[in-house]
Structure 1
Amino acid sequence: MSTTTRTPELIYVVEDEAAIARLIADTLEKFGYRAELFRTAEAFFHGLRHRVPDLVVLDLGLPDMDGMAVLQQLRGKHTCGLLVVTGRSDTYDRVMGLEMGADDYVVKPFEPRELIARVRSILRRYPGQVVMPADPAQRVAEFAGWRFEPGSNTLINPAGQQETLSTAEAQLLSVLLAHPNHILTREQLLGGRDVSALDRSIDLRISRLRRRFEENPQHAKLIKTVYGAGYLLASTVTWS
């Protein structure tokens, strides 16, 4: 009988407060993850050049670079889990983080088990929710006359014109395309993250995607609102 041993996921902790960074790292290691600490954005980007982790725990208040700028650069180049940790009470920062591609957030101070729960939730959806062909060159979705290339976030309209989606929009479209003609709740579209009554990030992303397809939000034909349930992509999708 053969057995397999799980390789612990690698998590980068980008946090300039030593005590908090150590607490996060100790908590992660206690639950079986590998953690590497970075005190500055510069050190973090240097680490990324050597290896991309499974997940990044990112503090928005870094000493050498604004956390939002770090988030934007990370999402522009890499696909990995991203958990924002912030001491800021402003809801705007949290919504902006989600809009720019963060998977979830925790606010300081937080309970270690809350951190682990959110880490586990994010890691369950990586390296991705979308089942695509094994050959990367064939990962192209065709639907309702449109083409979408997830590898480059490229959306091509029926006339052949193309544009590049933001990471957040591309992630959302990928999930919709993976489950065509199925109602997806806001929680499912956020990958299982709990959705509060004030969290409108999915609704904002849906609205932006609809504008890409020139849909009237009140009479959308491609991305439909199923009131009280969620959203549905009304189209046949072919992966080639």
Structure 2
Amino acid sequence: MTTPIHLAVLDDEVDITQLLAGYLGSQGYRVSQLHSGRALVELMNADPPQLVLLDLGLPGEDGLSIARHLREHWRCGLVIVTGRGDAIDKVVGLEVGADDYVTKPFELRELLARIRAVLRRVEPAPPAPAAGAASGATSAPAAAPAAGAPAGPPERLRFGPWQLDLAARRLLDEQGAEVVLTAGEFDLLYAFARCPGRVLTRDFLLEQTRGREAGPFDRTIDVQVGRLRKKLEGDPGKPQLIKSVRGAGYLFLLPVTPA
């Protein structure tokens, strides 16, 4: 039996947590209802969810600080669900590491689509079972590819001192230590690594990282590029990895090779 994906809903309004728990539960998810940042920390230590739905307007607590603490200590999807609809609030929410930002009131089916989109980026696809595994048969060693046959896709990409592990969705530095990325940051970096030396527009990058669920946040890519620069550039103010091309988009400067 497949273990259901665990979601956490943090909101001070009990009616909202119950509504979301009932709806998402009917879609096959296991949902924990929370009403404080402390409860979220306790859950993350005891039974961490794959994705957190976080309200920013918690009485007596700073929702953005909770989001920042979550990003610094745990790997999971993060969708901010809040009544704060100003563009500045959206940008700040994305800057602290949210994978998506949904304003209240929301349509349940749209929220579900956004949750699924984030989970697809957070959870790497499981490896395919070996042929004959289901019947218990022992498979013979795979034959070497014929001369001239195209090689499979690389498992890792190398650029500069970094390696991008595509299967595990991790970025490793020169010493092999992980540089923690959000799901959106990983997707954006992968999009750049697939197209080194080409100017990529914001619309193209939005499509590559958010697909059909791309929202109307015209600064989403700018925010995520800024976060990547802080993690990868020696001097984010003078980027040597991701260059801004005025009026066009962004350019990934390093050559990329299979690792």
Instruction: Give, in angstroms, the shift of residue 172 of structure 1.
Output: 5.9
Residue number in structure 1 paired with 2:214 = 194
Calculate the TM-score normalised by the size of structure 2.
0.67
For residues 174 and 39 of structure 1, what CA distance do their matches in structure 2 show?
A: 34
Distance in 1 of aligned mates of 2:184 and 2:8? 25
Unaligned runs of 5+ in 2: 126-154
Instruction: State whether residues 14 and 56 of structure 1, in contact with CA within 8 Å, keep that contact through their aligned partners in structure 2.
Output: yes
| Residue 42 of structure 1 pairs with residue 43 of structure 2 | no
CA separation of 1:146 and 1:117: change in aligned 2, threshold 3 A: same
Contact 2:207/2:214 (CA < 8 Å) preserved in 1? no
**Percent sequence identity over matched residues?**
38
Other-structure match for 2:13 = 17
What is the SS of the residue equivalent to 1:102? coil
Tell me which of 120, 123, 127 is aligned to 1:127: 123
CA–CA distance in structure 1, aligned partners of residues 6 and 247 of structure 2: 38
Q: CA RMSD in A?
A: 3.8
Matched, 1:175 2:190: yes
The Cα of 1:225 is off from its aligned counterpart by: 6.1
Query: Cα distance, 1:109 vs. partner?
Result: 1.1
Go from structure 1 to structure 2 and tell me whether the alpha carbon gap of 1:230 and 1:51 turns closer, same or farther (over 3 Å shift): farther
Q: 3-state SS of the aligned residue for 1:125?
A: helix
Question: Which residue is equivalent to 1:205?
Answer: 224
The CA deviation at 1:206 is 2.7
Partner of 1:87: 83
Question: Structure 1 pair 40/224, CA: closer, same or farther in 2 (3 Å)?
Answer: same
Shift in alpha-carbon separation, 1:173–1:63, aligned structure 2, 3 A: same
TM-score norm. by structure 1 comes to 0.72
Aligned residues: 219
Gaps of at least 5 residues in structure 1 are 130-138
Q: Paired residue for 1:8?
A: 4
Q: Would you say the 8 A contact 2:78–2:98 is kept in 1? A: yes
Q: Whose radius of gyration is greater, 1 or 2?
A: 2
Q: CA deviation at 1:51?
A: 2.0
**Residues 1:64 and 1:30: Cα distance change in structure 2 (over 3 Å):** same
